[in-house]
Structure 1
Amino acid sequence: MVKKDKPKYKQIIDAAVVVIAENGYHQAQVSKIAKQAGVADGTIYLYFKNKEDILISVFEEKMAVFVEKLEQILVRDIPAVDKLGLMIESHFSLLASDLHLAIVTQLELRQSNTEIRMKINGVLRGYLLLLDKILVKGMEDGEFDEKMDIRLARQMVFGTMDETITTWVMNDHKYDLVELAPKVHRLLMKGIRA
């Protein structure tokens, strides 16, 4: 396998997002991804084992951006309440700015087989652990309910974000997703504030 830091690797990842979003995962042939990326079909196999490997790599690469943004928020010297609001806004902004990625993450990844979903859940775990840091800090600082169940709070926060984005995707992006971020934040705060 060729190194992932090569320009063609990124081209293929970006092309895969477009092809999967426009055709659906099951109809997204490697040849279509290669054509979208402007590379020969065989070039794909220098970087990826198969289509499943492409899908998992897409999620790893794109999730890394979400993690990086959240890490930048975590180091800021602001209350946990504000960090959570910025996380929601950042998450919504990243997907609102890339409609193809929103379709892939909200619809296509969920239609993959169990093995792929397990690998994707492993990648998502790192992001959710960062969310836990916000929740724990908020509890320690008295901003959030000190008796709050972290796992349940994480599911509530991420689940609300996820469902809001999925509904936006299913409604063909007819409204501004980023404008919903403060509203989602406000509703969530009613459930976890101390």
Structure 2
Amino acid sequence: MSYKRSSLMQERMEKNRKMILQSARELIAQGGFKDAQIQAIADRAGVSSGLVYRYFDNKSQVLIEVLNEAITFEVEILNHIAQGQFSPTQKLHKAVTTFVRRAMNSSQLAYSLMFEPVDPELEHERFHSKQLIKQSMTEILAIGKTSGEFSFEDLNTAALCVVGAMTFAVVEPLNPSRNVIFDESYKDYFVKQIADFCVNAVKRQEGV
């Protein structure tokens, strides 16, 4: 009986934790980090602010957890593409296209997670998340260089440049202060431009 009570308590605690994180993510997606205050998170989750503090020491810890969960999911998608049955050129184009498209489809959330001003603790985690993205792109680039499809001097530098292009290129269109809604045709055009740029930057030129 004691074991059953303990198991039920663990399930309830895990459910509360997930609700808190989901609420924080929804608030960030609506209005950015500034809207994801502890009381607002608690209200949306239907719990007390005191309960939120039972799981997290402060707001930064909640936001870091949201960031880590989001980036883990994005990296899983990129890794799946990297390990797929495509040529390196196709993998790179698909990885960049998928990342940028997903960012533009969740513009406020993507902007906040990647660019909104944050405290040093969260900024450190943001830097780490970009390193994880870089690892996925490094895998694709390394395969492409070995196969002869790609040509560049330094793998790490090439990966940094690709990640820089696929992340910072979306700062302007994602910026919520511009209050612009893009139609699907523009999204398709914009995403393709970034993916083409990244591929052309590393692809071996004929005769070289």
Alignment TM class, shorter chain as reference: 0.7 to 0.9
1:134, 1:48 → 2: CA distance? 37
Structure 1 partner of 2:73: 65
Structure 1 partner of 2:181: 174
Task: Give yes or no for contact 2:24–2:66 (8 Å, CA) kept in 1.
Answer: yes
Q: CA deviation at 1:23?
A: 4.7
Output the amino acid matched with 1:182. K
Task: Give yes or no for contact 2:31–2:108 (8 Å, CA) kept in 1.
Answer: no
Q: Residue 130 and residue 49 in structure 1: after superposition, are their counterparts in 2 closer, same or farther (change >3 A)?
A: same
Q: What CA RMSD, in Å, does the superposition of the two structures yield over aligned residues?
A: 2.3
Q: CA deviation at 1:138?
A: 0.7
Output the amino acid matched with 1:189. V
Structure 2 partner of 1:55: 63
Q: CA deviation at 1:70?
A: 1.1
Pair 1:165 & 2:170 matched: yes
Pair 1:41 & 2:46 matched: no
Output the amino acid matched with 2:199. M
2:33 equivalent among 22, 25, 31: 25
Structure 1 partner of 2:195: 185
Q: CA deviation at 1:125?
A: 1.7
2:196, 2:34 → 1: CA distance? 38
- Higher-Rg structure is 2
Q: Residue 173 and residue 81 in structure 1: after superposition, are their counterparts in 2 closer, same or farther (change >3 A)?
A: farther
Structure 2 partner of 1:77: 85
Output the amino acid matched with 1:129. Q
Pair 1:86 & 2:86 matched: no
Pair 1:115 & 2:121 matched: yes
SS at match of 2:81: helix
Q: Residue 13 and residue 165 in structure 1: after superposition, are their counterparts in 2 closer, same or farther (change >3 A)?
A: farther
Task: Give yes or no for contact 1:73–1:87 (8 Å, CA) kept in 2.
Answer: yes
Output the amino acid matched with 2:40. K
Pair 1:133 & 2:139 matched: yes
Q: Size of the alignment, in residue pairs?
A: 189
SS at match of 1:77: coil
Deviates more, 1:49-58 or 1:12-21: 12-21
Task: Give yes or no for contact 2:20–2:45 (8 Å, CA) kept in 1.
Answer: yes
Q: For 1:132-151, what aligned pairs fall within 5 Å after superposition?
A: 132-145=138-151, 147-151=152-156
Output the amino acid matched with 2:181. K
% identity of equivalent residues = 23
1:9 equivalent among 7, 10, 17: 17
SS at match of 1:144: coil
SS at match of 2:115: helix
Gaps of 5+ in 1: none
SS at match of 2:33: coil
